[in-house]
Amino acid sequence: MVKYLNTIEEFNRAVSSNKPCIVDFTATWCGPCKRIAPLFEQMEKACSGVSFYKVDVDINTDAMELAKIRSMPTFQTWRNGKRLEHHTLNGASENGLLDLASNVLKEFGTNQRV
């Protein structure tokens, strides 16, 4: 199960890792967020080369503001405390999310497929 980052401290610790992570900025009231959540959960199980996290924007507003989130869902990739702008997805596109994860895996040299 994907771990929620409920505080800015948890968020900063998670995104500071050398291992890339994909963060799903979500909200409980967001229909598209609910629709894509099962795929995000499946990807976490399939991709050991990437960490997967969720931030509920209504709970962790500090992380939402730091990441400059304007819409949900937004998927951002972070590594070593830096957001990787070229690995970001706004919206609940299943193909887009699969492509995002595949590109992250390729860039960081893991031989996995999504």
Active site residues: 30, 33
**Amino acid identity for residue 22 in this structure:** I
Give the number of other CB atoms < 10 A from CB of residue 81: 10
| Helix, strand and coil in the chain, % to nearest 5 | 40, 25, 35
Burial of 111 (0-12, 13-18, 19+ CB in 10 A): exposed
